[in-house]
Structure formats: C-alpha cells, structure tokens
C-alpha cells in the first residue's frame, strides 16, 4: 500500500529551493556530493522530523516534538545525493542546512521497504539524539496533521543505518516494543558500592 506523504509547508519548500538556487549556500555546504551533482538538484520525499527526548525509566512519558522538515535532494542520477533540512523559527519555516552521509541512503531504503507493507502509513523521521539514532516513523494515522506529535498504537519505528549497537537497522519495531529498549539504554547503571 502506498505511503501517504504529507505535503511539506510551502515556506519550508521555498526555503530549500532558494538555498539550492544560491551558489553561496551550495558552495558553503560541506556536501561534496551536492556540489558534484549532475543535473538540476530537486528536493523530493519531504518528511517531517521529530525529536524524542526526556526518555527515562521513571515511568514518565517521553516527549516528541516537531523540529523540521527534511527533503532528499536528487539530480540526474538515480538515488538521493544529499538532504536539506528546514527548521521552525519565530518567523516560520526556514532553511537550516544541507548534509550527506549514511542516513540519506538509509532513508531511501527504509521508504522503499515501507512501500511494500500492506497497511497505509504516514512516513516521518524520529530522531533520538541521546542515542545518536534516527528512525523512519511509520505513523498509523496516515491522514494525521504532521504537527500532531502523538504516536498511534499501530505505529512502527524502523531504525536507520547506522543504528546503535544491539538495535537492528531496517527492522520494523512497534513503538511499544522499542521504547522500553531505548529507555533501558538511557538508564544509568548504578556504580558498584553505591546504594541501589
């Protein structure tokens, strides 16, 4: 079943197009693949980016917040060469930066895998900064407003490569199953001799 990709906010897309059209912005970016791109660079696959923080074992609920929109950047060759990210400012959506690296190809791979699922999902990206981890978040409410940060019971998280040790990349996990693993990873172990 196809993924239901939400439309990116028009100002976010305009800011990326303006940055791609600016020789200064492209030249200043630390993305050799973007500079070497053949053909017109085109932003594709807009995905809302959320951050998951305040993960603790104390029974509190982690907080998820929308922080930006990410666009994969393609040229004449197949596959994305880089990505562009926007951020929300007091004045609205603005271009943040270009980047390249393993998460670009890993995002494309995860999106292709998700296209073969039988359930409709809304694709999102979920970053867990405390673990240096990014996942493709397949939101079960495929018509939800992207500004909604709440997970649904059927949501899946697909860790992108490189994933933290012990967490398999590109393997879908239910949110309810993966969250305890992340919580355990972030809970400090008591030192020997310290009170329990």
- pTM, to two decimals: 0.89
Per-residue pLDDT tens over the stretch 124-175? 999 998 889 999 999 999 889 998 888 887 899 999 999 998 899 999 999 8
Task: Say what the pLDDT of residue 9 is.
Answer: 96
pLDDT at 50 over 70: yes
Across the range 5-28, mean pLDDT stands at 91
Q: Is 9 helix (H, G, I), strand (E, B) or coil?
A: coil
CA–CA dist 178, 62 (Å, integer): 13
Question: Are the C-beta atoms of residues 155 and 52 closer than 8 Å to each other?
Answer: no
């Amino acid at each position: 079943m196809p993924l239901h990709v939400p439309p990116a906010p028009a100002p976010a897309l305009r800011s990326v197009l303006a940055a791609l059209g600016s020789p200064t912005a492209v030249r200043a970016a630390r993305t050799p693949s973007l500079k070497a791109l053949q053909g017109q660079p085109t932003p594709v696959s807009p995905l809302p980016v959320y951050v998951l923080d305040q993960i603790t074992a104390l029974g509190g609920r982690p907080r998820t917040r929308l922080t930006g929109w990410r666009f994969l950047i393609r040229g004449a060759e197949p596959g994305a060469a880089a990505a562009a990210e926007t951020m929300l400012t007091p004045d609205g959506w603005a271009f943040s930066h270009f980047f390249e690296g393993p998460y670009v190809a890993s995002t494309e791979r995860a999106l292709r895998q998700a296209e073969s699922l039988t359930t409709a999902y809304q694709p999102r990206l979920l970053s867990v900064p405390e673990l240096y981890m990014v996942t493709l978040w397949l939101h079960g409410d495929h018509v939800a407003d992207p500004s909604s940060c709440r997970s649904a019971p059927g949501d899946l998280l697909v860790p992108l490569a490189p994933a933290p040790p012990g967490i398999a990349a590109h393997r879908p996990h239910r949110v309810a199953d993966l969250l305890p693993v992340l919580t355990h990873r972030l809970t400090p172990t008591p030192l020997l001799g310290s009170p329990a």
